[in-house]
């Protein structure tokens, strides 16, 4: 009996759960260090990205923009510490050092003249080996224009004999300006190539507006017996301007470059317009005439550029949106 009782008690103890002195490895909260694995020669080692902007889609563009922003911040900080430049939200005339008014005007004019004197978007895309969107191109040109606007302050500080920029910073500043600067055409900043008169004095130019394009030729009128009250001969697509453009407003658009330069009746105009409507063709012819006059007359470029007649209007017809009858027009809301 005693033996049977001992066996029964032993079996009962085996059936009951027992507390372990340590937790299982599956539920342990301590750090787990696996055993050393043998080296695998076939494992693919992913190299470290060469740039912090490697995963941005256009790393060369991102790196260039980051470098320009950093350079602009360093140059402005150096000028501010030496008293040549106030805070970002203050005009340059409020600097600690009395900066001449002509230098302040040059700084302001250089910042406002953003976009002129730099390489085109295709040229910049080829330089950085990536396709650049228009928004990214404008951001880079804006940063470069801010850098260029500080050049008059740098020249003024050099004239005072102040050492405010380190040699490395000045070298990077000059390299950034020279790397992205493009040669300007003679006679203008940011304009297209000027037309060249041929041996007969004729000048050809091209204009465009929306979907319309125009090829324009200007020929000087003969000075002998040309009545002053006439506007010169103007032929568009083989017909006179009055027959082609019956709206007075459109004819005034075409004659506006002549009126600004005081050359009404001094040239005969021949144009071939294609595409779009009469309004777009009239503005395309106007652009072509303005380009020709900028070449034929020495003092005509300034008033034409001031009135923005030498630059093509980039606005286009906005596309129709889904669910709307036009680009922005909406249908009348009906309750039921």
Last residue of a domain, one of 120, 147, 180: 180
Q: Are residues 85 and 160 in the same domain?
A: yes
Domain that holds residue 83: 59-180
Looking at the structure, tell me whether residues 172 and 89 fall in a common domain.
yes
Tell me: do 63 and 112 sit in the same domain.
Answer: yes
pLDDT for res 76: 81
175 and 208 share one domain: no
User: Can you say how many angstroms the Cα of residue 35 is from the centroid of all Cα atoms in its chain?
Assistant: 57
**Angle CA 190–177–55, to nearest 5:** 100
> Does residue 48 sit within a domain?
no
Torsion of CA 90, 92, 96, 97, to 10 degrees: 180
**Tens of pLDDT along 239-291?**
999 999 999 999 999 999 999 998 888 899 999 999 999 999 999 999 999 99
Question: Would you tell me the crossing angle of helices 101-112 and 151-159 to the nearest 10 degrees?
Answer: 150
pLDDT tens per residue, range 15-27: 776 666 665 555 6
User: Would you call 132 exposed, middle or buried from its count of C-beta atoms within 10 A (0-12, 13-18, 19+)?
Assistant: buried
pLDDT tens for residues 38-57?
666 676 777 888 888 888 88
Q: How many domains does the chain have?
A: 2
CB count within 10 Å of CB 310 equals 21
Residue 314 lies in a domain: no
Across 144-148, 240-244, 327-331, least confident range: 144-148
Is 110 inside any structural domain?
A: yes
Domain presence at residue 35: no
Residues 6+ apart with CB under 8 A from 150: 75, 76, 79, 85, 107
As a whole number, the mean pLDDT across the chain is: 79
pLDDT-derived band at 184 (thresholds 50, 70, 90) equals: very low
- E strand or H helix at 207, and its extent? strand 203-209
- Cβ neighbours of 22 (radius 10 Å): 6
Identify whether 131 is part of a domain: yes
Q: pLDDT per residue over 195-247, tens digit each?
A: 677 777 788 999 999 999 999 999 988 755 444 546 688 999 999 999 999 99
The answer to whether residue 1 is domain-embedded is no
Cβ contact 284:250 at 8 Å? no
Same domain, yes or no, for 169 and 207?
Answer: no
Stretch 52-67: mean pLDDT, rounded? 87
| Residue 155 belongs to some domain of the structure | yes
Average pLDDT, stretch 181-195? 52
- Alpha-carbon 161 to chain mean position: 36
| pLDDT over 50 (residue 188) | no
Residues 72, 175, single domain; the answer is yes
Query: Would you say residue 78 has pLDDT above 60?
Result: yes
Residue 294 and residue 223 share a domain: yes
With respect to residue 96, please indicate whether it lies within any of the assigned structural domains.
yes
What confidence score (pLDDT) does residue 270 get?
Answer: 94
| Matching residue, tokens 């394009």 | 213
Q: Is the pLDDT of residue 189 over 90?
A: no
pLDDT at 191 exceeding the cut of 50: no
Q: Which is more confident, 279 or 3?
A: 279
């Amino acid at each position: 009996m005693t033996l049977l009782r001992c066996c029964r008690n032993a079996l009962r103890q085996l059936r009951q759960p027992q507390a372990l002195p340590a937790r299982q490895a599956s539920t342990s909260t301590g750090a787990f260090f696996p055993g050393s694995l043998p080296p695998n020669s076939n494992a693919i080692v992913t190299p470290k990205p060469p740039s912090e902007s490697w995963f941005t889609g256009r790393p060369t563009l991102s790196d260039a923009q980051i470098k320009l922003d950093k350079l602009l911040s360093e140059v402005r900080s150096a000028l501010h510490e030496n008293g040549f430049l106030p805070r970002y939200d203050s005009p340059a005339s409020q600097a600690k050092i009395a900066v001449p008014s002509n230098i302040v005007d040059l700084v302001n004019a250089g910042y406002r003249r953003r976009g002129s004197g730099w390489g085109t978007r295709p040229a910049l895309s080829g330089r950085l080996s990536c396709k650049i969107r228009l928004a990214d191109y404008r951001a880079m040109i804006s940063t470069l224009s801010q850098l260029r606007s500080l050049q008059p302050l740098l020249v003024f500080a050099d004239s005072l004999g102040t050492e405010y920029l380190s040699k490395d910073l000045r070298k990077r500043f000059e390299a950034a300006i020279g790397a992205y600067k493009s040669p300007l055409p003679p006679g203008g900043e940011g304009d297209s190539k000027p037309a060249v008169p041929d041996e007969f004095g004729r000048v050809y130019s091209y204009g465009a507006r929306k979907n319309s394009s125009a090829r324009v030729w200007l020929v000087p009128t003969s000075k002998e017996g040309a009545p002053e009250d006439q506007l010169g001969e103007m032929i568009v697509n083989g017909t006179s301007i009055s027959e082609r453009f019956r709206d007075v407003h459109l004819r005034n658009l075409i004659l506006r470059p002549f009126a600004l330069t005081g050359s009404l009746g001094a040239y005969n105009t021949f144009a071939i317009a294609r595409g779009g409507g009469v309004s777009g063709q009239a503005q395309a012819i106007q652009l072509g005439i303005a380009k020709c006059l900028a070449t034929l007359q020495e003092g005509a470029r300034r008033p034409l550029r001031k009135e923005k007649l030498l630059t093509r209007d980039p606005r286009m017809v906005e596309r129709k949106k889904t669910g709307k009858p036009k680009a922005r027009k909406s249908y009348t809301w009906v309750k039921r």
